[in-house]
Structure 1
Amino acid sequence: MAPGAFELRNGVQRGGDPPPSALIYLAKHARSKPDSVAWIERSADLHKPPLQISWSQLTGLVQSFAHELSRTGIRRQDRVVLWGFNSLDWILTDWACNALGATSIPLDPRLPDQTVRDIVDRVSPRATFLDPLHRERVAGLPLPNWRSLPTGGDPSWLDSRLKDATIGDASQPATILFTSGTSNTPKGVMLSHGNLISNALAKLKAMPQFPTDHRVNLLPFAHAYARTCELTTWLISGSSMEVARGLDDFFSRLPFARPTLINAVPSVYEALLARHPASTEANLRAALGGRIRQLASGGAPLHYALRTCFQDAGMPIYQGYGLTETSPVVCSNIHPDSGAPTCLDGVGPPVEGTEVMLDTDSNLWVRGLNVMMGYWDDPEETNRRWRRFDGPHEGDWFHTGDLARRIEGTPSLEILGRCDDTIVLANGYKLHPLAIEAQLSKIPYLENSVVIPASNGTWRICVSGRKESIGSDQLVDLEKQVLVRCSQEFRNLFSKIVICPEPWTVESGLLNFKGAKRRNEFAARFGR
């Protein structure tokens, strides 16, 4: 095979470097299977037949959207902000930016208005496009509407754009994704086309997808998880997709859509079980549409009991690990369709093309094609995250900010938590909360737990129970189970267990958008 040449087999690239633009896959599908269904649009009445859009029609719409963007003055190397919920209009605007050589900057639709204004001021875009629900909130232009534009474009148009050397320019980011992070100022992560495509291909090798697959999307494309593991893998594999309008719509449309693939965060799977608490394996499978082939989770750790419940129902949840700066996938469980041994240990081994290293303090370092170009307009922070090592791991490595360990007898990693989450106790010992929380997740009557620092260099645990409240006998038992798992240095400085009276939700401020615990918020409310 010639240098740079590639072929697809079951959605996985074999040989050569990744292409300079993901749109090359769109052109390929439009030529090889122009009438195959790529996108499904359902009305609010789910019983009505859905509208089906082919790969050929999608290609024509990208051309129409590119013409609309050109009319607003968007050119190569311009920056374009997208603020809105997932939709076909959102996707086509993003792809039109790609075709014009512009950089798309999608923002989470749940961000506060002032945060969006601040980001827009920082990136100085040529244009800001808004969906109908955000149009009155900040200044900008309405997203083009695919229903009002022609779908029958010139088939050769996209091919001619892909031959343009400026498309997929390695020196220019394909997108800038703003991290939610723990700081007050979101950081703009610059990702190239090579970052995104190589990472999607690596994910597909661990968890293959096929043209016959169908997915229902819920996760926001403004975040790296959905950007790579849904949007880009869908485009590469040539399967079909539809978008849900929130969690209620997601669950309502599953029996109609009958997806084979679902990507979600743990809170979505928890919500499913809450809706079907006494489900048998058959009922749970039916609630998901009856055709599920892959369930995947990311964005936050999976509760042990949650993962066990789905595994017992014959539908294991495949977990991964990553961060925006790594496009995002670093590690992934391995599906049996990959041809490799199935792996459900921890977050799995590193994906192809990604190297990991653990230093003596368990800090996790990464390098590979998936690592970002840098932070937007912040070279100091970019340089701070890189370090040059000598010896057997000679070279430059990116610091993930996470702690990890290798699972004995496997190639997989277990994530111990964020470096910032490490609790330094009064005796100087360092406590890793996630390792303790992972053990607590195996206790049947506990629904949630979070380890937090307390006053005078001690530590405590906040918990919530399943169904019934936690009684005094359970508290005594729980404290015994905690202490028996700890060495003397940690037992001596254990403070107490606190029953959290507030709901563990995004609305209460105790969880972030991904469903991860906001440890600092717990500490502020319950650590004194």
Structure 2
Amino acid sequence: MGPLPDPLALPVTDNSDLTLLTVLDHRAATTPDSTFIEFMGETVTFADLSGRVDRVATAWLQMGLAHGDRVGIASRNSVDWLVAYLATVRVGAVLVTLSIMYREREFTHMLGQSGARVLLCESAVADFDFQAFLSDLRPQLPSVEQFVFFGTEQPALGHGWTGIAATPADPVAVAAAFDRVRATDPAVILYTSGTTGQPKGATLTHRSLLGSAVGQVERYAQGPDDTMLGVMPFNHVGGLTCTVGSSLVSGGAVALLPGFHPDLVAEAIARGHITLFAGVPTMYTMLLASETFAAVDTTRIRTCVVGGSNLEPALAERVRAAFPSARLSNLYGLSETSGASVISHPDDSPDLVDTTIGTPIGDVQARIVDDSGDLVPPGAEGELQLRGTSVADGYWDMPAETRSTFLPDGWLATGDMGTMTGDGHITIRGRKKEMYVRGGYNVYPAEIENVLSTHRSVALCAVIGYPDPTFGEKGCAFIVPAPGQVVDIDELRGLCTQQLAAYKVPDQFEVVDSLPMTPAGKIRKSELTWGPPAQ
């Protein structure tokens, strides 16, 4: 076989047949000794990774896994996680990504709904014993035939990862399995984070994952000399595609952490080779409050990416001050778009970065429609819909839900309300389902949260609507105090009154120690409720 083409020379379109492992094979053949992953003192090259993947792929075939089978995984970020992922798709199986924060309800729903035959899981995390947990839960997981545990060689249940990873590779068998893999095959079932309801399994294909990654690489001009700090969880598109997928496509490296912690991030940046840092607003807020981070030289970092939720202008200014050499960029994407779909343009001014999420990347098209599905004029408000190669192949085994979100002609209904300028810059107002109607007026929580976050006493905030017999709905703001600060509710109400229309000012303010979070660091508003005290 001749030399493999550079993935970036092959546009990822509806006609391309590029797969994730084609890209890995290209990197292992052309730059075998280049570092791809740095993790806890370990350095893994593209050639190292390829060899590990083929060994585990051989083990999967020997365990009877076949094309289209599902493999669940619940673990913190690690090299082993990445090996398991790529080995699974190497043989044409599908990875079902879970969070180690999940418990009985999530495990039974996601593994059962996906029909996973194998589950990989950490043996224990902190004081939680996953072996004992899954042993008790096993009767509720009828599809799972095999359990594999990281962190132990001889688990009481199933297999140890060490033995799986040491399986001698069978190149002939692996190649035969890989010959059946197509770009349109499912690669990952990634369950939506469930901020507003029951999680649904977005079915991401090789083509959709690469479509998003290639578009991101082009927008950020990522290359072999870049090292991205990997803090987003792999069970989220922020870790799976925006971090690992884009670095695989670009030939760059990932400085991987098991998870986000401000001190670990500060130490990684202090080592001086990180050029790209991506996180959600919550992560930036926590990092900027870290005493360890305050002494770190950040001047090597050329781009700071903020994704996952609304970027408040006040936080944007703090990030710019903390990373003086970096360009601040928004990144908008969904599980259903396999990763990034809209990113700030390199020519965007700070004002545009603070007020828009950017413009579509790659072959992504965007439109804003009203409740009837008709296009609205530039600047008018409606629902954002997207179309492009990166759009997922529906929800796994949920045809009704798929039809309501994945529309005819390839359009995806994002559920986000926003506006778009004539030149394609998009502003998000908030989630369609988060919007509430107070006395006939639409209220978008993100707008109120932007105002509240400017106050010195507010570390985090979330606004929701709640039923009211007179106005239909009213608003409640949940406030997490900043360290060392006391929240004065009258001050916050006055701030909102000064900057917002009266109907947008929250009717209630609740000071809380913390807010419920998804594994990806977004606030889980579906768990926030407020009602008047019982009489």
- What's the TM-score, normalizing by structure 1? 0.82
- Among 143, 166, 181, which residue is 1:167 paired with? 181
- Among 443, 447, 455, which residue is 1:435 paired with? 447
Contact preservation (8 Å) 2:266, 2:293: no
- Among 509, 523, 527, which residue is 1:517 paired with? 523
Q: In structure 2, do the counterparts of structure 1 residues 54 and 276 end up closer, same or farther at CA, with 3 Å as the change threshold?
A: same
Shift of 1:241: 2.1
In the TM superposition, 1:66-85 aligns within 5 A as: 66-85=57-76
Distance 1:135 1:207 in 2: 42
Shift of 1:25: 1.7
Show the counterpart of 2:155: none
Amino acid at match of 1:348: G
Distance 1:273 1:7 in 2: 39
Distance 1:263 1:158 in 2: 34
Show the counterpart of 1:272: 287
Q: In structure 2, do the counterparts of structure 1 residues 13 and 348 end up closer, same or farther at CA, with 3 Å as the change threshold?
A: farther
- Among 106, 109, 123, which residue is 2:100 paired with? 109
Q: In structure 2, do the counterparts of structure 1 residues 148 and 442 end up closer, same or farther at CA, with 3 Å as the change threshold?
A: same
Show the counterpart of 1:30: 28
Identity of aligned residues (%): 24
Contact preservation (8 Å) 2:97, 2:235: yes
Matched, 1:199 2:212: yes
**Equivalent position SS for 1:371:** coil
Shift of 1:195: 0.6
Distance 2:532 2:78 in 1: 40
- Unmatched runs of 5 consecutive residues or more in structure 1: 43-49, 389-394
Show the counterpart of 1:41: 39
Q: Deviations over 1:269-293 (max 9, x none)?
A: 11111114994xxx45x2x5x5212
**Equivalent position SS for 1:374:** coil
Contact preservation (8 Å) 2:336, 2:391: yes
Distance 1:111 1:272 in 2: 25
Matched, 1:223 2:245: no
- Among 275, 287, 293, which residue is 1:260 paired with? 275
In the TM superposition, 1:10-21 aligns within 5 A as: 18-21=16-19
Distance 1:220 1:497 in 2: 34
Show the counterpart of 2:513: 503
Q: Deviations over 1:284-313 (max 9, x none)?
A: 5x2x5x521222121222232221112234
Shift of 1:497: 5.1
- Among 307, 315, 327, which residue is 1:298 paired with? 307
Contact preservation (8 Å) 2:451, 2:495: no
Show the counterpart of 1:47: none
Show the counterpart of 2:375: none
Q: In structure 2, do the counterparts of structure 1 residues 160 and 518 end up closer, same or farther at CA, with 3 Å as the change threshold?
A: closer
Show the counterpart of 1:374: 394
Q: In structure 2, do the counterparts of structure 1 residues 146 and 351 end up closer, same or farther at CA, with 3 Å as the change threshold?
A: farther
**Equivalent position SS for 1:269:** helix
Shift of 1:153: 6.4
In the TM superposition, 1:83-482 aligns within 5 A as: 83-133=74-124, 134-138=130-134, 139=138, 140-143=147-150, 145=161, 149=165, 164=179, 166-168=180-182, 170=184, 172-182=185-195, 185-246=198-259, 247=261, 248-256=263-271, 258-276=273-291, 279=294, 283-284=295-296, 286=297, 288=298, 290-313=299-322, 314=324, 315-335=326-346, 344=353, 345-360=355-370, 362-388=382-408, 395-406=409-420, 408=421, 411-426=424-439, 428-443=440-455, 446-454=458-466, 455=468, 456-457=470-471, 459-462=474-477, 463=479, 466=482, 467-471=484-488, 474-475=491-492, 477-482=494-499
Distance 2:328 2:198 in 1: 33
Q: In structure 2, do the counterparts of structure 1 residues 270 and 13 end up closer, same or farther at CA, with 3 Å as the change threshold?
A: farther
Shift of 1:350: 1.2
Q: Deviations over 1:365-396 (max 9, x none)?
A: 121111111111110111122445xxxxxx45
Distance 1:83 1:91 in 2: 12
**Equivalent position SS for 2:433:** helix
- Unmatched runs of 5 consecutive residues or more in structure 2: 125-129, 139-146, 151-159, 372-381
- What's the TM-score, normalizing by structure 2? 0.81
Show the counterpart of 1:54: 45
Q: Deviations over 1:462-517 (max 9, x none)?
A: 245544324477346324314xx31xxxx26856352x321234xxx3x4333333
Q: In structure 2, do the counterparts of structure 1 residues 230 and 476 end up closer, same or farther at CA, with 3 Å as the change threshold?
A: closer
Shift of 1:251: 3.5
Shift of 1:66: 0.8
**Equivalent position SS for 1:40:** strand
**Equivalent position SS for 1:65:** helix
Show the counterpart of 1:392: none
Contact preservation (8 Å) 1:320, 1:329: yes
Distance 2:177 2:225 in 1: 28
Distance 1:116 1:278 in 2: 36
Distance 2:492 2:44 in 1: 56
Q: In structure 2, do the counterparts of structure 1 residues 335 and 6 end up closer, same or farther at CA, with 3 Å as the change threshold?
A: farther
Contact preservation (8 Å) 2:74, 2:98: yes
Shift of 1:183: 5.3
Shift of 1:200: 0.7
Contact preservation (8 Å) 1:60, 1:155: no
Distance 2:80 2:292 in 1: 37
Distance 2:227 2:173 in 1: 28
Amino acid at match of 2:511: P
Distance 1:381 1:13 in 2: 33
Shift of 1:202: 0.8
Contact preservation (8 Å) 1:18, 1:198: no
Aligned alpha-carbon RMSD (Å) = 3.2
Amino acid at match of 1:324: S
Number of corresponding residues: 484
Distance 2:384 2:35 in 1: 41
**Equivalent position SS for 1:30:** helix
- Which deviates more, 344-353 or 153-162? 153-162
Shift of 1:178: 1.1
Contact preservation (8 Å) 1:61, 1:151: no
Amino acid at match of 1:75: A
Q: Deviations over 1:233-265 (max 9, x none)?
A: 121112222321331434444323742222211
Contact preservation (8 Å) 2:280, 2:522: no
Amino acid at match of 2:87: A
